[in-house]
Each structure stands twice: as C-alpha cells, then as structure tokens.
Amino acid sequence: MADQALPEEGPVDLSLKPDNSEVLPPPPPPMSASPPRILVIGAGSRGRTYARSAISSSNGIVVAVAEPDQYKREQFARNFICRCNPDEPAPEGSLFADWHDFLDWEMTRREREKAGEPDVSEGVDAVFVCVLDEMHHDVVVGLAPLGLHIMCEKPLATTLSDCVGMYRALAPHQHEKVFSVGHVLRYSPHNILLRKLLLEDRAIGDILSVVHTEPVGWWHFSHSYVRGNWRKESTTAPSLLTKSCHDIDILLWLMCSPAPGSDLPPHLPSTVSSSGSLQFYKRSRKPKAAGNATNCLSCPIEKDCMYSSKSIYVGPRHMGLETGNTRWPISIVMPDIESFAEDKRKDALLSALAEDYDETTPKEAVDRRNWFGRCVFESDNDVCDEQVVTMNWEEEPLTPGGAADAESLQGRGSKQATFHMIAQTKKQCERYSYVYGTEGEIYADSRVITIENFRTGETTSHRPQLESLGHGGGDVGLTRQFILAVDRVKNHGWSAERAQAEYIGCTLEEAVRSHAMVFAAEEARTGEKVIEWKAWWDREVGNIE
C-alpha cells in the first residue's frame, strides 16, 4: 500500500517506480460546459497537491484560494488560478486571506445574485479543506450552511466529538451534495486492485488475517512528527490519527465492507487493542558527546549526526537544497525559499534552521510554530514513534441464530487485522501487507501484489500502473473521483447519493467510523485494555443519524 510522502512537493524518486510501469496519470476526463469550480482552503503542501491533481487529472478548474500567508497565497494564484496568464492580477473573488473572508464574500455574492444585480461573479461548487488538522471542524461546520460539495483532508478532525459534530453539520446536505475525506489510499490503482482480488475475485478465499505495516522513514518522521506540525498530541493529535488514520481506514475497507455491488451490511470488528509509545526521539537517547546543545547548528557532533538538520535540509543527501530541491520538505521549513536569489537561499535556510527556543520562551510561542533546526532528542515532541493496533472480528453469519457454514458466512467469519506503524525505517511510507486466507496468501507492497494459491500451487504477480507517486496514485485518484462526482451532480442530473456511491465509494458514516476506530485504539493503548467495539461505539458515538 504505497504512500510516497508528498513527492509532488519534491523531486520524483524513480526508485519507487515498479520495474515495468511508467508514472503517468490518465488523461483528464472531458470537460463539461460548466466545469466544477474549486476553492482550496489552505495553500500548504496538501492544498497544492490537490490543486495540481485537479489540473492534471480532473475536469474541474481551480478558481479560488484562502490562505493567510501572502507569499503562499500569491504563489498558489500564479501556479493554479492564473497559470495561463501569471502576470495578470487574480480575478475578483479568487484570493482570500482567511476562510471567514470567503464565507463573508460568498454570502454577499449570493445576496447580490438573488437581488438580480448585474455582473455578479460566479461562485464555487466545491471546496478542498486543507488547513491544519485542528481547524478542520470549524471550517467544515462553518461552510456547511453554504451547501457546497466538500473534500476534507485527513484526519477529519482531532477529537471524536468534533468528528461527530461535523457529521451532524453535513448530514442534512447529503441528499444534494457529496462529501469526501482525504483517505487517499482507497483511490490508488494498487489498493483498488488488491480489494478486487480479495473481495470480488476471492483470490485467496476468505480473509483470515491481515498484517499491515507503515514504515514512516527515520528522517521523514523526524521532520513531521519530532520537529514539525504533528509533534505534540496536545496541539494536534496522536500520530495514529495524524499519520495513520487512513491505514486504519484501508483495513476496515478491506475487512468490513462487502464486495462492490453488494447490499450486505458491514461486518464490524468485535474488539480493538493497541500498544505503543515514544521510544526513540527523546532526551534519554541523546548522544553524550552532544552535551547541552539544543540546536543542530551549535552542536559539537553535528557533522556526525544522521539527524543533523543541516544535512537533511541543506546537504546533497535526502531532498536537501543542494540537490536543487526547493519543494517539500524545504518549502515546509521556508515557504518563501523561492523568493530568494539562488545564491542567497542557503544562507537564508541556515538562518531559519538556527532559530531555537530556551527556558525563557513562552510555551505558547513554542507551540505555535515548528523548529526544524531543533535537536531531535531535545524537542517537545510526545507522539508515538511506534505503535501496534490489533482488531478482531467474530463470526457473524447472514442467518443469525442458525448454524454457521461457509455459505452463510460469505466472508463474515472470524478474522484479525494487525497494523504496525514504525518510524525507524529506511523505507519511507512504502507500506506493505501480508494477507492470509483460507485458500492462499497475498504479499502486497508498493510495487507488486503476489498471490500464492494453495489449491494449484501457482504464484501470480500483478504490477499495477502508477498514476503518480503521491500515495501510489491515490492523490490523483481521490481528486479525480471527487470532482467527477461534483460534475455528475452539477451537469448530468445525478443525485448526490448516486455520485457518492459510484465515484467516492465511501459514506460519511464510514469516514466517521474509521476515525472512531483510531480513537478507540488510543483509548485501548493509554488504558492498557481491550475495547469491545460495539459497546464502545454505542457509548461514545451512539446513533449519529
């Protein structure tokens, strides 16, 4: 299950490409007479990725952005809104410093339109919400009354109560508007084929067990979860949510959902348990020779440390500035890096990396920004760098009360899924899975799906085409499917329910359920207990209809 860590925001690493396939997205679908008009809220790496995917692989047009950082907002406009005429000013109603500004503008625009005023700007049809995780709830709930089609980046929200609140705000609009969450793994050609092999073709019979691993990557984890946005549970959320909620989602998609086209009810887990902790990125692991240094640029062993910020962000290894890269992760450290002359960029980046805090710095000042030059053993991070989640299913035959048999079970037998997230790996988000069934087994990684058939003794391999290196094509796939759903509702007379089912393939309730499973797993981990899923769901979520 591939996830190449936002490569569209940096150089494409062709070593991740399957041996016999090219990384080529399919041509965009035909444009409708009135193509879906897209607003992107948040011009960070995810917002830019979805905008780029919309242009390359969808039949929608990006017409507006809301972003507080002026440089990122104007750069986004040049690249995606005014890309055909980047030197011309952006049209009215296309640039907003805040999502509230868009909300006010849109309400006024609708009032003018209702009053029959001439020359009223055309509105937007859909919005991609790509702000910080902890802002998702307020943005989505605030926009819900507008009745727009919404795609919210994962995670849906950082608390269970916010997830439920978002459901209740969006539910009244499900008959008219589609909704999607950024569970991009569902939309990669790799995972679509894997699900078909398991649920439709029944290539290994009934699933008995899945063991799925996400190797985050040693320097990638230190960038995002030790020095970066998602380092503290108190300011964002647990790493199981911020990094791996779509891994839990993909497991539920494979293990709970009936085969495509089936109207059977989902087979839900019976229990969930979890263990994990912050094992490595902490002060007790700091090399003694580093002494009291808290910043890499003042550390006596910087040249020998694999976590040197200078080595990672400036040097010729990894994706540093000296490789010619100015996108991810460099653009996260310095969003305006390209505004500097080439011969000034290194000094500017080193100056940014030298910034540090000490005991006199107010906690709120430390919390509200990232510190990419900070020693990874002296940071204020507290999220798990390794975690295991185990989900179990009991037999649930289609004829309750009767004797279970193969015919009545139809994939609803007892089974188990184990998920392992680990930071200290060479692989960078190149997920891999072992699936064990009653008649065979499957190994699936970022390049190949290999089936071992016990009945015939045959080994069969599939090498799915990659549409992009962004989540194995999932970024492109999700963007295309969401905008196609919007187009079908806007231009082709489809109901929102039909477009949701056929193009997005995930209901709002499913999105809440997979997030709820993450919160249940965290409760199990911190409480050192096994959670009974149904009782937990009834108690914590209840009837969200």
Domains, the chain, ordered by start: 9-183+473-507 (3.40.50.720), 187-281+382-471+512-540 (3.30.360.10), 283-367 (no CATH)
The two beta strands, 95-96 and 61-66, are parallel
| Residue 22 identity | E
> Residue 259 class from Cβ within 10 Å (0-12 exposed, 13-18 middle, 19+ buried)?
middle
The per-residue pLDDT for 404 is 66
Reported as a single tens digit per residue, the pLDDT across 126-176 is 999 999 999 999 999 999 999 999 999 999 999 999 999 999 999 999 999
Average pLDDT over residues 95-107: 97
The per-residue pLDDT for 96 is 98
Cis peptide upstream of residue 29 (ω within 30 degrees of 0): no
Distance between CA 510 and CA 252 in Å, rounded?
9
The per-residue pLDDT for 8 is 36
Name residues whose C-beta falls within 8 Å of residue 313's C-beta, 6 or more positions apart in sequence: 320, 321, 329, 330, 333, 349, 353, 372
* Length in residues, the chain: 545
Backbone conformation region of residue 484, classed left if phi is above 0, alpha if psi is from -120 to 50, else beta: alpha
CA dihedral 399, 403, 406, 410 (to 10 degrees): 20
| Residue 241 identity | L
The per-residue pLDDT for 17 is 42
The per-residue pLDDT for 86 is 77
Q: Give the distance, in angstroms, between the CA of residue 404 and the centroid of all CA atoms in the same chain.
A: 39
Average pLDDT over residues 343-361: 97
Over 80: is that where the pLDDT of 62 sits?
A: yes
Q: pTM (2 decimals)? A: 0.92
Helix, strand, coil percent values for the chain (each to nearest 5): 40, 15, 45
The per-residue pLDDT for 469 is 56
What are 61's strand-pairing partners? 37
The per-residue pLDDT for 511 is 95
Residue pair 450/460 in contact by the 8 Å Cβ criterion: yes
The per-residue pLDDT for 87 is 80
Q: Give the distance, in angstroms, between the CA of residue 446 and the centroid of all CA atoms in the same chain.
A: 17
Distance between CA 107 and CA 90 in Å, rounded?
20
Print the SS3 string covering 246-294.
HHHHHHHHHHCCCCCCCCCCCCCCCEEEEEEECCCCCHHHCCHHHCCCC
Q: What's the distance, Cα to Cα, between the start and end of the chain in Å?
A: 32
The per-residue pLDDT for 402 is 57
The per-residue pLDDT for 398 is 77
Over 70: is that where the pLDDT of 95 sits?
A: yes
The per-residue pLDDT for 324 is 95
Identify the band that residue 400 occupies on the pLDDT scale cut at 50, 70 and 90.
low
Over 90: is that where the pLDDT of 474 sits?
A: no
The per-residue pLDDT for 428 is 92
Average pLDDT over residues 258-279: 90
Name residues whose C-beta falls within 8 Å of residue 394's C-beta, 6 or more positions apart in sequence: 270, 414
The per-residue pLDDT for 21 is 46
The DSSP secondary structure of 355-390, one letter per residue, reads ----TTS-HHHHHTS--TTB-TTSS---S-SEEEEE
Backbone conformation region of residue 171, classed left if phi is above 0, alpha if psi is from -120 to 50, else beta: alpha
| Residue 59 identity | N
The per-residue pLDDT for 12 is 35
Distance between CA 158 and CA 174 in Å, rounded?
23
Over 80: is that where the pLDDT of 419 sits?
A: yes
Distance between CA 217 and CA 13 in Å, rounded?
15
Residue pair 214/185 in contact by the 8 Å Cβ criterion: no
- Which of the residue ranges 13-22, 45-54, 471-480 would you say has the lowest mean pLDDT? 13-22
Q: How much is the mean pLDDT over the chain?
A: 91
- Which of the residue ranges 27-41, 69-83, 307-321, 531-545 would you say has the lowest mean pLDDT? 531-545
The per-residue pLDDT for 25 is 65
- Greater confidence (387 vs 7) lies with 387
The per-residue pLDDT for 432 is 96
The per-residue pLDDT for 13 is 38
Residue pair 329/349 in contact by the 8 Å Cβ criterion: no
Reported as a single tens digit per residue, the pLDDT across 432-458 is 999 999 999 999 997 899 999 999 999
The two beta strands, 449-453 and 440-444, are antiparallel
Residue pair 385/239 in contact by the 8 Å Cβ criterion: yes
